[in-house]
Structure 1
Amino acid sequence: MTDTRAAVFDVDGTLADTNHLHVTTWWEAFRQAGHDVPMHAVHRAIGLGAEDLIEHLLDPGRDRGADGAISAAHKTLYGTFSDRLPAFREAGRLLRTLAADGWTVVLATSAGGAELAALRRAIDADDAIAATASADDVEEGKPAPDPIRQALELAGGRAAHSVFVGDTVWDMKAGTRAGVTCVGLLCGGIPRGDLTAAGAAAIYDDPADLLAHLADSPFATRPEPRR
């Protein structure tokens, strides 16, 4: 008997090509609220939950009473793209291949509700996804390890036998703190060196590149049988 192998995946920027949609809509939400936040700064913050992203980007001395309106504006602006969110090439096939190979596939994402439903429609691999750990399920989002630990609990997997795939520094930090092997993808726009410094054990261009190299990736490692 072997331990469950959990394949945990971030969604935005990892399985779906949505990071730059988030950048644009967060930038516009900030602009509408009177905040001048450079797009490159927003890009570096993508992967944080909404509250943490706002806290990370805005002056700590601001009136926090307007934060909810900023978050709501972003949600509304981003929602205009919900019927045409693009999945990365081979994203769905990657999840189905891992599931067929015995991995329990779990999503770990700050998305929830209608946004998560739209992302899952874009990926089109619900038959391979065993569970989803969203920001609503934990006290702290990435870079805290809580979302990854929640995903492992849902999968019944041990950290030592599991792999987490993400595209941001926040993903790699969260996975490292949770004790899983971290795989970084470059398709979210974060440089290779930054992902490696944050804990990525292996780097691939995108889901298609990872799928093509599964045989020599961290997913090729088999856990030892329980004694």
Structure 2
Amino acid sequence: MNRAALFDVDGTLADTNHLHVTSWWEAFRQAGHDVAMHDIHRAIGLPGEDLLAHLLGKDRDAEEDGALSAAHDTLYGTYFDRLPPLESAADLLRELDGRGWSVVLVTSARQTELDALLRALDADGAVTATASADDVEQGKPAPDPVHHALGLADAPARGSVFVGDTVWDMRAGTSAGVICVGLLCGGIPRADLDDAGARAVYRNPADLLAHLDASPFGATGGRRT
């Protein structure tokens, strides 16, 4: 039976959450919206349209969504040639691949962003497949992206593990019936990840790799908080 190791990318494998925060903040500022960076940070991980609804309200002028998203994409795109992977992110993916896990990246990023992230991670040989926001109708926290990723890996939810850094990741994974592991490197508090369904929480990819055997990826499947 295949086992899927599912990974969010922004904030989980790449240190990019605050680049997104800055890009969205500037996009909002240019359009005349005063949105606090703290609030933007807590919304990172949602697909663009859902992020805008979360921050500006469902009664916003939705006709402005395209321009706001385009402004964010243009600003964030200036970082494409220097997106920073988190410590040991590629080593973690290679180790899991070597242990027989099917590694699938599950992200709310569009394909252009995902391509830049893949170049930054430099772990293509360890990645079985990728699932981007372009592949599903509903993004996280809906379970659709996780279900799609499981299909790409030809793996059941039972025994598969989803690693992410936001409450949206934990809720999506929990709804899909997979084991959820939270990482603190995206800046979301441990208690929030726990409340959203994390089975275990680690500081970053390096910490998870160092304790892999005692994690849900290992034989003991222990909890680390």
Q: What TM-score do you get using the length of structure 2 for normalisation?
A: 0.96
Cα displacement (A) at 1:78: 0.1
2:52 maps to amino acid: I
Structure 1 pair 221–140 and aligned structure 2 pair: CA distance change class (3 A) = farther
Question: In the TM superposition, what is the alpha-carbon distance from 1:64 to its structure 2 partner?
Answer: 1.3
Question: What is the count of residue pairs matched by the alignment?
Answer: 221
Runs of 4+ residues over 2 Å off in structure 1: 59-62
Q: Deviations over 1:92-122 (max 9, x none)?
A: 0000000000000000001122211110011
Provide the secondary structure at the position in 1 that maps to 2:9. Answer: coil
Q: In the alignment, residue 214 of structure 2 is paired with which amino acid? A: D
- Distance in 2 separating the partners of 1:182 and 1:61: 33
- Work out which of the residue numbers 145, 148, 157 in structure 1 matches 2:146: 148
Q: Counterparts of 1:148 and 1:60 in 2: how far apart (Å)? A: 25
1:65-107: CA deviations, max 9, x gaps? 1111000000000000000000000000000000000000000
RMSD: 1.1
Gaps of 5+ in 2: 221-225
Compute the displacement of 1:63 (Å).
Answer: 1.6
Q: CA deviation at 1:34?
A: 0.8
Which of the residues 155, 171, 174 maps onto 1:173?
171
Letter in 1 for 2:8: D
Unaligned 5+ runs, structure 1: 223-227
Alignment of 1:65-104 (within 5 A): 65-104=63-102
Residue pair 2:5, 2:101 contacting (<8 A) in 1 also: yes
1:134 matched to 2:132? The reply is yes
What residue identity is the alignment partner of 2:40?
A: V
The answer on 1:211 being equivalent to 2:217 is: no
| Equivalence for 2:223 | none
Question: Taking CA–CA contacts closer than 8 Å with sequence separation of 6 or more, which of the two structures ends up with the larger relative contact order?
Answer: 1
State the distance in 1 between where 2:141 and 2:160 align: 18
Q: Distance in 1 between matches of 2:131 and 2:114?
A: 11
The residue aligned with 2:16 is 18
TM-score normalized by the length of structure 1: 0.95
AA partner of residue 94 (structure 1): L
Q: Which residue of 2 aligns with 1:119?
A: 117
Is 2:1 aligned against 1:28? no
Of 182, 191, 195, which residue of structure 1 is paired with 2:180? 182
Alignment check: 8 A CA contact 2:181 2:198 kept: yes
1:41 to 33, 39, 42: 39
> Per the alignment, in what secondary structure is the counterpart of residue 122 of structure 1?
helix
- Separation of aligned partners in 1, 2:20 and 2:189: 18
Question: Within 1, Cα distance between the matches of 2:155 and 2:140?
Answer: 19
Task: State percent identity of aligned pairs.
Answer: 70
Distance (whole Å) between structure 2 residues aligned to residue 78 and residue 7 of structure 1: 27
Aligned counterpart, 1:193: 191
Tell me if the contact between 2:129 and 2:152 (Cα under 8 Å) persists in the aligned partners. yes
Counterpart code for 2:108:
S
- Which of 161, 184, 187 is equivalent to 1:163? 161
